[in-house]
Amino acid sequence: MPANSNHKSVSKPSELFIQGITLDGRTFRPSDWAERLAGAMSCFRPGGVQGGIGAYIGYSPYCVPRVINGVKCVIVNEALKGIEPMAWDFVMNFARDNGLQVVEACYLPEQPGS
User: What 3-state class would DSSP assign to 87?
Assistant: helix
Q: Which residue has the higher pLDDT, 78 or 106?
A: 78
pLDDT over threshold 70, residue 82: yes
pLDDT confidence band for 2 (50 / 70 / 90):
very low
Within-domain flag for 56 = yes
Domain count, the chain: 1
- Domain membership of residue 79 as a residue range: 15-105
Within-domain flag for 110 = no
Give all strands (DSSP E) within the chain, no chain letters.
15-22, 63-68, 71-77, 100-105
pLDDT over threshold 70, residue 52: no
pLDDT confidence band for 89 (50 / 70 / 90):
very high
In whole angstroms, give the CA distance from residue 100 to residue 79.
21
Within-domain flag for 61 = yes
pLDDT at 44: 84
Within-domain flag for 50 = yes
pTM: 0.75
Within-domain flag for 35 = yes
